[in-house]
Amino acid sequence: MKNANLILLLSLISLLTSPIVNAQCESVTLESLTNPGPYEVATLTEADGIRNGPDYAGATIYYPTNGTGPFASIAMVPGFTALPASIEEWGPFYASHGIVTIIIGTNSLVDFPEVRANALLDALETIKQENTRSSSPLEGALNTNQLAVSGWSMGGGGAQRAAVLDNSISAVVALCPYLNNSALNHDAALLILSGEEDTIAPPSEQADVHYSNTPNTTDKLLFEVANGDHSVANTPNGGDGVVGQIALSWLKLQLEEKECYCPLLTNNLLLNPTAASNVLQNFECDALGIDASKQAIGYSPNPTKNTITFNNTERVLFELFSPLGQSLLKGQLTKENPQIDLSDFPPGIYYLRTKNQIMKLMKVD
């Protein structure tokens, strides 16, 4: 009876979630990662009643005015001797895609990373209080369990340290980070954006070391922009716009937990990127919400140029999906006909779903 109930449950989940997944993923494309995004943006400052945090100097909150919450949030801090204006383009960019952003100044322009880490945590407290402030347009509109931190240069190092100090932080976006503290033991999903020609925080001495010193159990991605300098990630337009596309996709995936953005990263933005001089990654996609490691049917060859043969002894219904969840082919495998022909599909990654497992297939030339 338990097995029958499990099969019934899996079947119902498959029927109910497949249209939803497909509908959500159809709108997730490279073209959807625009600057600006689909939402109108407004700002809040202390003059509008937001909290004046003691560990930072001045703040601006950017938020979508015509989106539907609850929204995720990110706090950002600039680098050594820099003002908030140095990174302010990130505010309207993120907010126009539905991520509330608070950009802060520092009490001293020469604050070191650890002080900037505390400033970021103080900024997150301001975000949390906006969710309960009765006169705030963000009252009740924030998901205070979806919080990220980011910063440039020493601010990027501070973002890493903030994640160490507060394990409620879900994601970190470090922009050409500078930090000489190797204690980076945290599980917040880490994105490092660095510049190949950065002479202030050379990647070999900073970004690459930060990546290595972050645990391998943490989802992490390093994207080094070819010919980029220390300011290459100060705006989402860096690297001809790929900086913003990657940062937004990372936050949509890791902060908002929208799995559709994972294959967009792995199969598009990170697949032989012309804008990158170095890419390191340690994360995987959970395709269509099903554990790909649970293999019940053997198959080969994979990769394949045309057909794949399956080692099944009973009739099995299948559905083939694109990396973005679009249904491409339906059919059944049998003992007499155990093959699927991918000859009509272009090279790339595909997902094959049966009633209780999903297989990652690769088609090559």
| Active site (catalytic) residues | 153, 198, 230
- Residues 42 and 65 sit within 8 Å (Cβ to Cβ): yes
For every residue of 174-242, DSSP letters joined together read EES-----------SEEEEEEETT-SSS-TTTTHHHHHHHS-TTS-EEEEEETT--TTTTSSTTTTTTH
Task: For residue 294, give every residue at least 6 positions away whose Cβ sits within 8 Å of its Cβ, in sequence order, or none.
Answer: 356, 357
- Residues 251 and 99 sit within 8 Å (Cβ to Cβ): yes
Give the tokens for residue 124: 């997150």
Task: Give the integer Cα–Cα distance in Å for 56 and 83.
Answer: 12
DSSP 272: S
- Residues 169 and 189 sit within 8 Å (Cβ to Cβ): no
Give the tokens for residue 295: 């293999």
In this structure, the strands spanning 99-104 and 59-64 are: antiparallel
What residues pair up with 348 in beta bridges, in sequence order?
Answer: 363
